[in-house]
Amino acid sequence: MVSMKDFYKQFVNEEVDENGTLKKFELVLKDDFNFGYDVIDELARLYPQKKMLHWINDHGGEREFTYEEMSRLSNQCANMMLAHGVKKGDMLLAVLKRHYEFWILAYGLIKIGCVLIPATSQLMPKDYIYRFNAANVKYVCATYFDEVADRIDEACKKYDGIKEKFICRGEKEGWTDFMAELSKYPDTLEKQPMSKDDYMLAYFSSGTTGQPKMAIHANAYAAGSISTAKHWHHVDDTSIHLTVSESGWAKCAWGKMFGQIICGAEEFIYDMDRFHPDKLLTVLQDYNITSFCAPPTMYRFFIKEGLGNYDLSKIKYSCIAGEALNAEVFNRWKEYTGLELMEGFGQTESVVIVANFFGMKPKPGSMGKPSPLYDVDIIRKDGTSCDTGETGEIIIRAERGKHPALFKEYYGNKELTDNAWRGGVYHTGDTAYRDEDGYFWYVGRTDDLIKASGYRIGPFEIESILMEHPAVMEVAVTAADDEIRGKVVKATIVLSRGYTGSPELVKELQTYVKKSTAPYKYPRIIEFVDELPKTDSGKIRRVEIRDNDHKKYEEEHSGK
């Protein structure tokens, strides 16, 4: 019998160096690969009583699931969905936060070929209407909490394509109780015909302009996150891994749905109502988490909270994703825990693309090096490779729609798909430069670059400098409209405890930036706020700041 530690190896061809650092990685999948059958059911057969999932919430709720239990529950889900008319290729939108039902639903749908579209609980009726129409959604499964079901019902007044709505954690007229209905169906399932190229999962990825685009993945994508789990999160069959992302974000897919399970790790799910640093630190301590991944914002709050009262000695590996990492956060976390934060970069369209992989020596503030799963480069606008130290766009050379760990298309939008794959490569839309050792350093989104007074300014550099000032708790640097210069640099700042916004502090912070970098990069506008707009996973929404500022500017200058 294959050992749990080596189970993942049947799906990959990999090579590591003497430090265990990944040097070669490619997927080796049979034509009918399906995560539900080839991973969940197979692990249930080999290791039925091994714990797969451990779920808790803020209200004393706790559930544990073995491979065998998850196999049976996902079979029941699959049988239920088939009985309710769900067919291969149908689209189901799920809004389940971090509820354990999400995993049961996901694996059940994968087994019958229904495409799962996870969504965040922050959506409003207009957002649902757009998604329903864009994906021709026929089924919905949602949480009772946070008025999610009410908003979906409101959206359904303007969309008549929903055939059935399933609800979790409550009762509502016109909705079917997901778990109660599931319990009526058998826990064995006749295997459905599948292909590794069948559509499996889709996420709506918000851009800085236009409506969100729907990136769709095939069955093979599930195996792509092995590289993420094994060589970035560094998990194995002894690990207890916690990724904080809500199920509505793609980081959930490559952080706690697939690769970590294939590698035998116990997936720990903390279904928190809101992020409170003290509560999450207590969870890390009390549940002996060994591998942890969160956005930089959360680590910043941990450091401000103070780590001296928590025993985090069980954590062996800590990763960071969602935003570029400031060196200050890296250094403070290491000072407290002895652990180096291993930054990684990926997208809704991919798994981890660039990272500080196991065995590498991270450079504070660097994204790391490209994953050998992809052919990654940094290029100029003319398509040629950038020199060392030269900023350009991160791209992946791959045949369009053929790489198993890249999205197949932007569903229903050939124009957007064509634009992303122009010039025979996939354009990430993110910019960086490469240093003399091959490490990538993040600069910003191509559309986040600030063009002011003839200069091109990357927001991350300014944010990093400001984060080193003791007054700054959080900061987002964006472009703001200016009547004379067109665009200027703006810093939106959350102050640390004990500091109050004032004209004197504005001047002090501006001078601080001028002394640390070229003076033209300093923020001409500084706004102090109580909090920055964020996604549920803690990622700062710079686009919201930009859009709000632009709206205000237009209103103020509409009469001129």
Mean pLDDT of 472-501: 91
Instruction: Please state whether 538 falls in left (phi above 0), alpha (psi between -120 and 50) or beta.
Output: left
* Diameter of the chain measured on Cα atoms: 77
5 domain residue, yes or no = no
Q: Is the pLDDT of residue 65 over 50?
A: yes
536 domain residue, yes or no = yes
Q: Are 200 and 208 contacting, i.e. CB atoms less than 8 angstroms apart? A: no
What is the per-residue pLDDT for 92?
Answer: 99
Tell me the CATH number at 484. 3.30.300.30
- Tell me which of 219, 251, 268 is where a domain ends: 219
pLDDT digit string (tens) for 106-163? Answer: 999 999 999 999 999 988 999 899 999 999 999 999 999 999 999 999 999 999 999 9
Same domain for 73 and 215, yes or no, is yes
pLDDT digit string (tens) for 230-257? Answer: 999 999 999 999 999 999 999 999 899 9
Q: Is the pLDDT of residue 207 over 70?
A: no
**454 or 322, higher pLDDT:** 322
Joined tokens for residue 410: 């932007």
Same domain for 72 and 124, yes or no, is yes
148 domain residue, yes or no = yes
Tell me the CATH number at 438. 2.30.38.10
CA dihedral over 454, 459, 465, 466, signed as positive or negative: positive
What is the per-residue pLDDT for 517?
Answer: 85
1 domain residue, yes or no = no
Half-sphere exposure of residue 23: CA atoms within 13 angstroms, side-chain side: 6
Q: Are 286 and 427 contacting, i.e. CB atoms less than 8 angstroms apart? A: no
pLDDT digit string (tens) for 182-204? Answer: 999 999 999 999 999 999 999 99
Q: How confident is the model at residue 322 (pLDDT cuts 50, 70, 90)?
A: confident
Strand partners, 392: 432
Give the mean pLDDT of the chain: 94
Q: How would you classify the pairing of strands 486-495 and 472-482?
A: antiparallel
What is the per-residue pLDDT for 464?
Answer: 86
Q: Is the pLDDT of residue 538 over 80?
A: no
**208 or 243, higher pLDDT:** 243
Same domain for 290 and 319, yes or no, is yes
Same domain for 100 and 205, yes or no, is yes
Joined tokens for residue 71: 């196999």
Tell me the CATH number at 309. 3.40.50.12780
Same domain for 401 and 325, yes or no, is no
What is d(CA 429, CA 420) in angstroms, rounded to the nearest whole number?
8
Joined tokens for residue 214: 């729907």
Lowest mean pLDDT among 333-342, 519-528, 537-546: 537-546
58 domain residue, yes or no = no
Same domain for 77 and 213, yes or no, is yes
Q: Is 492 helix (H, G, I), strand (E, B) or coil?
A: strand
What is the per-residue pLDDT for 301?
Answer: 87
Same domain for 385 and 368, yes or no, is no
Q: Are 117 and 102 contacting, i.e. CB atoms less than 8 angstroms apart? A: no
pLDDT digit string (tens) for 311-320? Answer: 999 999 999 9
Same domain for 70 and 215, yes or no, is yes
250 domain residue, yes or no = yes
The percentage of residues in the chain with a pLDDT greater than 70, rounded to a whole number, is: 97
**Residue that the structure tokens 């700041």 belong to:** 545
Same domain for 305 and 184, yes or no, is no
Q: With 0-12 CB in 10 A as exposed, 13-18 as middle and 19+ as buried, what is 411? A: buried
Mean pLDDT of 458-466: 87
510 domain residue, yes or no = yes
What is d(CA 206, CA 461) in angstroms, rounded to the nearest whole number?
23
- Tell me which of 447, 468, 492 is where a domain ends: 447
pLDDT digit string (tens) for 381-392? Answer: 999 999 999 999
Q: Is the pLDDT of residue 208 over 60?
A: no
Same domain for 292 and 418, yes or no, is no
What is d(CA 99, CA 145) in angstroms, rounded to the nearest whole number?
11
Same domain for 489 and 468, yes or no, is yes
- Quote the number of domains for the chain: 4
- Tell me which of 447, 466, 487 is where a domain ends: 447
321, amino acid identity: A
Same domain for 70 and 213, yes or no, is yes
Tell me the CATH number at 146. 3.40.50.980
pLDDT digit string (tens) for 369-421? Answer: 999 999 999 999 999 999 999 999 999 999 999 999 999 999 999 999 999 99
Q: How confident is the model at residue 459 (pLDDT cuts 50, 70, 90)?
A: confident
Lowest mean pLDDT among 37-51, 93-107, 134-148, 193-207: 193-207
**519 or 446, higher pLDDT:** 519
382: containing domain = 376-447
303 domain residue, yes or no = yes
pTM: predicted TM-score of the whole model, two decimal places: 0.89
Q: E strands within 407-507?
A: 409-410, 426-434, 440-445, 450-452, 455-457, 472-482, 486-495
pLDDT digit string (tens) for 275-292? Answer: 999 999 999 999 999 999
- Greatest mean pLDDT among 30-39, 412-421, 547-556 lies in 30-39
